[in-house]
Amino acid sequence: MSNKFYITAAIPYVNAKPHIGHALEFTQADVIARYHKLLGEDVLLLSGGDENALKNVQAAEKAGVPIQEFVDKNTQLFFDLTKKLNADFDVWQKGSDKEHHYVSSQELWKRCEKDIYKKAYHGLYCVGCETFYETEELDEKGECLEHPGKKLDEVEEENYFFRLSKYQDKILNLIESRELEIVPSERKNEVLSFIKGGLKDISISRSNERARNWGVPVPGDDKQRIFVWYDALNIYQSGVGFGWDEEKYYKWWPADVHVIGKGIIRFHAVYWPAFLLSAGLKLPKKIFVHGYYTVNGQKMSKTLGNVYDPIPLLEKYGADPLRYYCLAKTPPFTDGDFSEEKFVETYNADLANGLGNLVARVAKLCEKANVQGTKFNVGYGDESLSEIRKYLDEFRFDEGFRLVWGWISELDKQIEESRPWELEGEKLIEVLQSLVIGIKKISAALQPFLPETAEKILDQFSQTQIISQSPLFPRIK
C-alpha cells in the first residue's frame, strides 16, 4: 500500500513511571505522524508497554504488588503521558496481552525455529538493559556502560539461542546499501562497527525460575519464557495484526520508521532485522535514533534524585510549551539538556514574547481596523512549505522551528517598518491582510509541531471578524 505510513516509538519498560526522555520521544514520533497525515497519507502510530522484562518483575516484588497489577498501572501512566502531550497514538500494545501479543510472538518464534538451538550458558546479565554482555563490552570496572554503578548478574542456565552470526553479512549489506536506513550517519557507523567486530549467537529465552513464570512461554517448552527483547520488538508487529489479523498486518507492515533512543540501537538495527530475516518477513525501512536528556547538566539517575517527571509541567502549562522545548531546543541526533529554568526562559522568550506577542499585535490591529479574516490557507504540500518539509523528512525538528521563527521576525520587522497604526483606508487594509497571510502561513507550518496552538491561530484569523483573544502563552512570572 503506497499511501500508508507506519511509525513506531520505542516500547518503554514500565518498571517505573515515565520521565522527560519519554516525552521527547513520544513528541518526536507524533510530529512525524502528524506531518505525514498532512501530506494526505494513511498513517498509523504505535507504541505500548514492554511488560515482560525481568526488571518489571523485580520492581513489582519490591512494591509488594502482583506483577499484572503493577504493569497495568505503570503502562497506563505512559499512555496518559501521550494524551497530556497531545501525541495521538493509534495503537498502544501491551506486552502482557495474551490474546494478541502472546500469539504473535510465539508465531515469530516458530518461523525462526530453523535458527534456534538450545545450549548451556554462563554469562554476565544487565537487568537494566535486559541483555547479556561480553567482558570487552563493559567499562574498566566491569560495569554496563548504560547502567554504571550497578553490578551485573552472573547467570548460568540452559537457554535457547538464535543464530545471529548467520545473518552478519546480510545485515551489513542491508545497512551499507541503505535498504535499512539508520539516521543519523554517526549511529549508522556505530552499528556497522559493531557488526564488523563479529556477531555472536544470542540467548533468546530464560528459565521459568529466573523469569518468575512471567512472560511469553516458549512454544513447545513449558520450562522456558521468550527473552524480553525478542518479544518486545515484536510488539511492532503484534500491534498491527501479525499472527492474528493477516489483512491488517499486510496493510501496515513493514514499519516506515522506528523512533528509538541511542541506547537500544543494537537491538533494533542488528537483532530485530536478523529475527525478521530468519522469519522471512519484511524489514523496517528506517531507524531514527535520538539522543538522551540530561537534567541540569547531569545524567538522569534515581540515585541523584533528578529523574524529571514532566506531568506537573504539562498540567500547569499544557502540551505545546513542552513540545516546543523538546523539538526546538533539543538537538534531534545528540543529547539535550532539560531544566525548568531553561524551560521558563524559552517559554517567555520564544512563545510569550515571540509567537504569542505577534499574534496578539496583529489581531488587535485587525480588530481596530475592522479587518475580516482571509480564506487564504496554506497546505503542507504547497511550495511555500517545501523547506520545512525537507527538515521534517530529515527529522531536523529544531531547524524547522528556526525557519518558522525567522518568519516571525520578518513579520515583526514588517510591522515596525509599515507602522500600520499610522495608516488608514486601503493602505491599512493591504498591510494588515499581508500580515494575516503571513500569520496563517506560520500557523499552517506549526500544525505537526504545536497542533493546539496552530488550530487556535488558524481559527482566529479565518473568522469573518478578527478580534483579540486571551494570550496564547501568558508570561510565566
Contact predicate 266/191, CB 8 Å: yes
- Active-site residue 101, yes or no? no
Which grid cell sits at 45? Answer: 502510530
Residue 80 phi, psi dihedral angles, 5° rounding: -60, -35
Of the residues 110, 170, 299, 413, only one is catalytic, namely 299
Of the residues 22, 36, 101, 440, only one is catalytic, namely 22
Which grid cell sits at 200? Answer: 555472536
Which grid cell sits at 224? Answer: 522456558
| Helix/strand number for the chain, H first, E second | 20, 16
Of the residues 37, 147, 166, 285, only one is catalytic, namely 147
Of the residues 122, 141, 302, 316, only one is catalytic, namely 302
SS3 assignment for 288-332: EEECCEEECCEECCCCCCCCCCCHHHHHHHCHHHHHHHHHHCCCC
Contact predicate 217/223, CB 8 Å: no
Spatial separation of the C-alpha atoms in residues 174 and 168, rounded to whole Å? 10
- Which residues is 121 bridged to in the sheet? 157
- Active-site residue 147, yes or no? yes
Contact predicate 56/14, CB 8 Å: yes
Contact predicate 211/53, CB 8 Å: no
Spatial separation of the C-alpha atoms in residues 115 and 436, rounded to whole Å? 62
Spatial separation of the C-alpha atoms in residues 292 and 343, rounded to whole Å? 17
Stretch (H or E) spanning 260: strand 257-261
- Which residues is 155 bridged to in the sheet? 123
Bond from prior residue into 217 cis (ω within 30 degrees of 0): no
Sequence-separated (6 or more) residues with CB below 8 Å from residue 66 = 60
Reduced DSSP (H G I as helix, E B as strand, rest coil) percent helix, strand, coil of the chain, to 5: 50, 15, 30
- Active-site residue 299, yes or no? yes
- Active-site residue 144, yes or no? yes
Of the residues 55, 100, 101, 144, only one is catalytic, namely 144
Rounded to the nearest angstrom, the gap between the alpha carbon of residue 353 and the centroid of all alpha carbons in its chain is 29
Of the residues 129, 188, 440, 441, only one is catalytic, namely 129
- Active-site residue 366, yes or no? no
Q: Which residue has the cell 475592522?
A: 370
- Active-site residue 22, yes or no? yes
Which grid cell sits at 419? Answer: 507602522
Q: What is the CA radius of gyration of the chain?
A: 25
- Active-site residue 19, yes or no? yes
Spatial separation of the C-alpha atoms in residues 476 and 356, rounded to whole Å? 13
Of the residues 36, 101, 126, 290, only one is catalytic, namely 126
Say which amino acid occupies 414. Answer: Q
Spatial separation of the C-alpha atoms in residues 477 and 426, rounded to whole Å? 40
- Active-site residue 129, yes or no? yes
**Residues recognised as catalytic:** 19, 22, 126, 129, 144, 147, 299, 302
